[in-house]
Amino acid sequence: MILLYLITPALIMFFISFSHHIYLRRILPITNLMVLIPTLYLFSLGKPYAIIGEYLVATNLNSYILLISSIVAIGVTLALITLNKHVKIDNRSYIKFYRFFALFWIGLILSIMSNNMGIYWIGLEMATLSTVYMIKTNKSKQASKEAWNYMIVGAIAISLILFGIILIYASAKPILGEEAMNFALLKEHIHEIKNPFLFELGFVIVSVGMFIKMGFFPMNLWLANIERASFYPVGALFSGILESAILIGFFQFSMIAMQIDKEATFSFVFIYLFLTISLVSFLIFRSKDFMRLFSLSGVEHMVLIILFWVSGGYFPALLHFGAHAFLKPALFLSTGVLESQGRYKIAGALKGYHGFEGKTFWFIVGFFILAIVSLPPSPMFFSEIYGFSAMITLAKETDSLLWMILAITILLLILSIIFYKFIEIYQSMKYEGEEVEKIVYKSELLAFLLFAVATIGLIMPQTITYLKAIHG
């Protein structure tokens, strides 16, 4: 029954998308608010709570991720109301965007709540396919090319994930039968597996598939190009919800893999992440437009989330995850307003906002940009402090303390390049360029306020206590 309540807002959106009365979209943020009722209700239940048998199970981890995704979805529907004021979109494409957004959301609810690898994959595939059409709502030649690109590369990534799942299933089926797809059961019986090699191979293939989907090495520009070509809410949905679903999958698989061989899992993931962040920092330094900048910065933050997670820093990983999931969609949505005077005009982008709404907008965007570069008291500042200390703690256990200190130093150097670039951009936005009057709409402002409040909510003592209680 809870599942029905969870997907009801998405179903309402889906059915409304068949109506030609485009103004109906205005009620969607209100109907979407309904998703908070079952989501918050999940927090009051004892965990693990079976939503549908052993297939969909609410845990502390996925309830938190679902809450974050729900808030992002509400924010995106708020900002979507004025999409046609910022970009050229016909009514037909507009209502279809909502239709595929609804399918995307249903797929991701299934993925996030799943306790079964098969259902996880089905939900992820459903969301991936729905996104293809959302990219295509932009009628430009570039968007068309990128939609096909996403279809093909996304298909490769998702196929690799399925390939890995089959190998993991094959490794555990002799002892667990059809229940080998069950994450919780697999975690419990992992040491009974006769062929851990097969599991590890499956894990590596699943991880590579997930890393491709998240735009990691060597596919760093893949996601950035797609987000650049599509309308700005697509980037928000990618970074706020789709990537959350991929990350929760990685959390589940890596928790099991670390039980088999923690050191090997860490080494493999660390090398991959290190290559990614080195390349991404260079690309961020060279980026000349908002969309690519935010997209590449999203990759950087996902690298950090995964790095903290595999280091055993579950609390910093989840805190960083929450902050990334709120700040990045907020920044993507703000590009709709920031780019109203031309796509690549960074100089003066934060000038020309008058009145209460305008001034609130530049204040909030300034807050988002400074929070994303981890300036205190941003949740990202705390997560990075805790995350790096988790890496040191791990190194002490494995007698490689000096190597870890060296790695952290290099990472900090890389992060400082990104920090410098963002500050430079912020200064250019605020103090350079001409002042041209720009409009911010109330619904957008409401969405930004929602993201700002949610980000602040992450550093509330109750949230921190909750996150510290989650152990993967």
Partner 1 sequence: MIDFFIGLFMASFLIVLFSGRLYRLIFWYAFNSLALGVITILVGVEHIDNALVISGGLTLILKAGVIPFVLKNISQRFNLIREINPTVPIHYSIILIPAIIIFTLYLAEPMSSMIGVNSNYIAISISSFFLALILMIEHKSVAPKIIAFLMMENALFLLGTTATKGMPMFVELGIFFDVMMAIVIINLLFKEEHVK
Using rule CB under 8 A, residue 106 touches partner 1: no
C-alpha span between 270 and 258 (Å, rounded): 13
C-alpha span between 378 and 389 (Å, rounded): 18
Q: Using the rule CB under 8 A, which residue among 7, 83, 95, 132 binds partner 1?
A: 132
Contact 39/9 with Cβ under 8 angstroms?
Answer: no
Q: How far is the CB of 344 from partner 1 (least distance, A)?
A: 25
- Where does this chain touch partner 1 (CB under 8 A) — which range of 131-139, 267-275, 377-385, 447-455? 131-139
Using rule CB under 8 A, residue 181 touches partner 1: yes
Q: How far is the CB of 305 from partner 1 (least distance, A)?
A: 27
Name residues contacting partner 1, limited to 6-65 (CB under 8 A).
55
Using rule CB under 8 A, residue 139 touches partner 1: yes
Query: DSSP string spanning 304-348?
Result: HHHHHHHTT-HHHHHHHHHHHHHHHHHHHHHHHHHGGG-TT--TT
Q: Please report which helix (H) or strand (E) contains residue 93, including its range.
A: helix 91-113
Per-position x/- string for 195-224, each x denoting binding to partner 1 as judged by CB under 8 A, each - no binding = x-xx--x-----------------------
Q: Using the rule CB under 8 A, which residue among 56, 162, 214, 364 binds partner 1?
A: 162
Q: Using the rule CB under 8 A, which residue among 42, 57, 70, 125 binds partner 1?
A: 125
Q: How far is the CB of 21 from partner 1 (least distance, A)?
A: 22
Q: Using the rule CB under 8 A, which residue among 2, 7, 167, 445 binds partner 1?
A: 167
In this complex, which beta carbon is closest to partner 1, that of residue 109 or of residue 277?
A: 109
CA distances from 113 to 171, 255, 318, 332, 415 (A): 24, 16, 16, 26, 33
- Where does this chain touch partner 1 (CB under 8 A) — which range of 157-165, 333-341, 378-386, 427-435? 157-165
C-alpha span between 127 and 135 (Å, rounded): 12
Using rule CB under 8 A, residue 147 touches partner 1: yes
Query: DSSP string spanning 224-285?
Result: HHHHHHS-HHHHHHIIIIIHHHHHHHHHHHHHHHHHH-HHHHHHHHHHHHHHHHHHHHHHHH
In this complex, which beta carbon is closest to partner 1, that of residue 96 or of residue 328?
A: 96
Q: Using the rule CB under 8 A, which residue among 48, 118, 457, 472 binds partner 1?
A: 118
- Positions touching partner 1 (CB under 8 A) are 55, 116, 118-119, 121-122, 125-126, 129-130, 132-133, 136, 139, 144, 147-148, 151-152, 155-156, 159, 162-163, 166-167, 169-171, 173, 178, 181, 195, 197-198, 201
